[in-house]
Chains A and B, each alone.
Chain A
Amino acid sequence: MGTFRMNRRHFLALSGAAGIGAAMSGGMSRAMAQSLSGASTAVLPSQAPTNWAAVLEKANAALQAEHGFTLNAEFINWGSYGQQALLKFTAGAQFDTALQALWLNMAQLQQDGALADLTGQIDKWPNLKAQIAPKLIEANTWNGKLWGIPQVNSAARVQHFTVRQDLAEKHGFGEITDYDTLERFFYTIKEKEDGVTPYSLVSNSHWIYAVPTPTAMFNQHSWENPYTMQYLFAGSGLRFLFAKDAAETGSSGPIPFWDDEGVIAALRKIRQYYNDGIVNADGMNVDRATIDSQFQTGRFASNWAMTDGSSSNQLAALQRNVPEARLGQVMPFGKPLTAVKPVQTFQADNMVVVNANGGDVDRALALQDWLSVKENHDLIEYGIEGTDWEAAGDDGIKQLSQYAFPGYALLWRSGLERRSSFMTESEKTIFDWAQNYDNFTADTFASFIPDVTPVREAAAAMNNVIIQHANPLFYGVADVDAQLDKLKSAADAAGLDVLQGEMEKQANAYLAARA
């Protein structure tokens, strides 16, 4: 193989071409931005933060001067966000962007052609491109097309436990790292801490306790083998697990979650915890906000956590009620983080999609680009500096007001997120780990998005079956064997074979396309 040596002329020619290219690309995005006008309406969950009017006024003055348009944020309460957002798409409402996700209605919206194709669009916006990792775009591309701008503050997300570290140390546990110790901690709390429930179950989070993604909270088998990812046709319904050797054999072999031994063991464990009072008995009815407020009053010894750096946010409120309280994180691996590379799909839990029916792609992307600049990002995400927050170190933040913007719905960027001054050391370690793509293994089916269209009726029927017959298992309120019989029989009647067959067909086609 010959060696290529770049002489001075080659170097100058290449530099010139690169310069012209960069100038053209910058010029193009500027020209595009300057031709924009009106208001970019973003449909967001949650409610307008306190002091939002002042923040929006400041943001719009800058946006208008820079891009010629303004931001119009339309907040919809979380309780009805899914339906309301879907209705907006259906009714042909005029808006640019909305929060969507696989756990909402994104697959349906894409399959119905309601989302604008954003393939290649990010390349036109330098600030946005600089903040979105190529791996993230690749992982969120479905069949070669990008349907939303992923909003993440870490590379991967793993559910785990936040525990009352003060209680752990009080009872001689120190740092909890494995499942057996965690279980002993639960039973010790039950025995010795009157009025404290060891763990809090919450409604609408059913499957996370038993079905691996790649681990499940009470699935000890998944702690030891964090290499399983579940897939389903739509945002909710029946979760399938694929064969571990699918990549080698080309055969996906999907099984419903109840055919996995680890899941069944987890369901039995949850039932045991329910009977023993380790978990709250009202898990099927109680919502996240209620549980969090109870956790903050010291009624629970552990709570659900995610590797998004937000678990420590509860500490300030908790310490107001329990001054000696401290928080620790228990990761579901039973070994050091350096010794494990769990599978991930790297698919974002939150996506900003552009409305194909009346949304302006350039304006939407211009807004995403503008929000990818640190100063603008800080303004919308954290409010007005000095009033709502003050910097703590280079990337830290001390909150001064109650300002809380749903950043995940519009402007989460890993590189721009500030760390709360309340973040514990253990969470910092986990957050750092979760931000690095190299700490994870891409799942064989990482960018597989099943199309529900051919089995829409069976999927709908199965969804009801899961709510009615599987949820009681996830919350431990029913006898496992009897309830499993009911679940299987109802699933058969709802068309399990149809769903399983279609999932296998589509997953095998995905494998064949990648081979």
Chain B
Amino acid sequence: MTIRILDAGDAALTIEFGDAIDPRLLAAVNALDAAIAARQAAGGLAGVIETMPTFRSLTVFFDPLATSRAGLLAELQPLFAAAEHAAPPAGRRWRLPVCYEGEAAPDLADTARAIGRSADEVIALHSGSEYLVYMLGFLPGFPFMGDLPEALRLPRRTEPRVRVPPGSVAIATGLTAIYPWESPGGWHLLGRCPVPLFDATRAAPSLLAAGDRVRFEPVTMAEYERLAAALAAGEIDPQRWLVAATANETGT
């Protein structure tokens, strides 16, 4: 594994483990992240504000008044070894409801046409795989998940949408995601998930974490609406879609 140190301005460093979307790189990123957290808990790494794990790199944000790039790097380097032979994160296993019908699925027909399959086949492909949450970012709680079945891989839309509705379940390249918030977006929208992915009042505001595994379960529009209303009224706890506390357990 070749580690590259990249400057991200005077207050951040990016430690890059490779240039691919690969669970082995994610394991290395998470292992370094955990090693940094452990050093901080032991009183080390003064000046480190926070870290951001991504598909293939870890960005370390620091206070340039409290440490320097050179000083920080000297402290970080011994931790890189921990990343070399890291095991994949345990993660949790989720099964999230998705409505693939009507206005909830504005790009379903175009996607089916683009890959030469029926809409039902697209739904079967998308809901037939389990996805790894590689990272959270772009928007609060936005999960980048992979890997899509080969047949579903499409480039982003040539015309990004100005408004993607919250809950939109989308695909692009080899990835799938759920938009927790309304935002612009260039991915293909296949469905909608009623479960809120981000709630600032929860101790862990993001429902999903890097390393979790997610499978989608098709629901009708009527069921989607029933779930959305019950969730909005606080009658359902989103934890109900947690299938197993670790990905190694068998889902029910």
A, B bound: no
